[in-house]
Amino acid sequence: MIDARDLRKEYGDFVAVEGSTFSVDRGEVFGIIGPNGAGKTTTLKMLAGLLDPTGGEAEIAGLDTETTEMRQRLGFLPEESPLYEEMTPVSYLRFFADLYDVPGEVADERMHETLDELQLEHRDRKLGDMSKGMKRKVAIARSLINDPDVLIYDEPASGLDPLTTNYVIEFTEQLAAEGKTIVFSAHNLFHVESICDRVAIMNEGEIVARGDLEALQREYGETRYHVYTTVEVPDAARRNGHFVREVGSMDAVEETRSLAQDRGGEVVDIRTEESSLEEVFLNVAESGTSGTRYVGEDGESGDGA
C-alpha cells in the first residue's frame, strides 16, 4: 500500500532524511519514532506529497505521491493543524468535503458518524471557541472526510489531555480494524507500542532499525523474570507475603528454584517482564547502529546497505 525507496531530503548542506526505505501493507499500522530532529515529520510530509524528495521515491497504492489521484486516497493529519476559526465543525468539514467532491448527504453522514465516535459535541460552536482537544478531533474528522485508504498522522495526540488522548488512540485502533493503512509518529512510545504492528526507529535522518515489536524487543531488549518463593533466597526482596528475586535468564530461574528447595521452600510464581519500546529505543540509540537493521521482517534479521 505504501512503498518508500531511498527517500532523501536536503536543505542546502543539511540532510534531514537520508536513505529511508520501508513498505507498509494494507491494513497495517506502522509507527515512526525517534528524537526531535530525527526526520520523522519530513518523512511523513514526503509521503503525503507535501515535500518533494531530493532523492528516492514513494508511492501510495501504486500512485506517485505528487498525483491528484493519490491525494484522493490519502488522509493527512499534521502535528500542528490550524483550523478556520470562524467556521463551525460542520461548516468546516462540509467545506473540505466539497474540495474532495464528496456528495453532501454522504459527507454529512460521514462527518457526524466520525464526530460521534470521537465524542465531539457542540458541533455548531465556532472552532475558535473550542479547546485544543476538540479542534484535534475536528482535524481527525477532516482527514477522514474523503474516506481515504491511507492515513498519515504526525503526532495525532500531541498536546492533548490524557482522556482526549485515549479517545484518539482508541479511534486510531478502530480505523486500523476497519482496514485503513496507518503511518504515524508519536513521542509517547506507549501509544506506539499499544497499536503498531511494526515500527521504524529514526536517528539523525536515518532509519537505524525497523521491524515488528516482538523482534525488536528480542534484538535490543531483554527479558527479566520475577521469581516468587516461600523462603528467602539470595538477592530476594520481601513482597506480599513471599520473597521475589529478579533474574535475567531461565538458568537463573532454575538456580532460584534449587536455592528455595535447599532452604525447605518452593517457587510459587514466575512473572515475565519484557523491555518496553522506550527501553528498546534507548538501546538502539546507544548501540550506534550504522545502516538500517531489519529485524523480524520476512523471518530474517540483517543489516541494510
pLDDT in tens, 30-72: 999 988 889 999 999 999 999 999 999 999 988 888 888 898 9
Residue 56 near residue 3, CB atoms below 8 Å: no
Q: SS3 for 283?
A: helix
Mean pLDDT of the chain: 88
How many structural domains are present in the chain?
Answer: 2
Residue 198 near residue 210, CB atoms below 8 Å: yes
Tell me the C-alpha distance between 115 and 137, whole Å.
7
Tell me the C-alpha distance between 2 and 49, whole Å.
13
Q: Are residues 143 and 229 in the same domain?
A: no
Q: Are residues 21 and 102 in the same domain?
A: yes
Q: Are residues 151 and 23 in the same domain?
A: yes
Domain of 266 in residue numbering reads as 223-274
pTM: 0.78
Beta-bridge partner residues of 24: 2
Q: Are residues 158 and 99 in the same domain?
A: yes
Q: Are residues 50 and 124 in the same domain?
A: yes
Residue 149 near residue 28, CB atoms below 8 Å: no
Tell me the C-alpha distance between 48 and 261, whole Å.
62
Residue type, 94: R
Tens-digit pLDDT profile for residues 238-261: 998 899 999 988 899 999 999 999
Torsion on CA atoms 189, 195, 199, 203, rounded to nearest 10: -20
CATH of the domain at 264: 3.30.1490
Q: Are residues 196 and 156 in the same domain?
A: yes
Q: Are residues 171 and 269 in the same domain?
A: no
**Nearest to residue 230, comparing CAs of 245, 238, 242?**
242
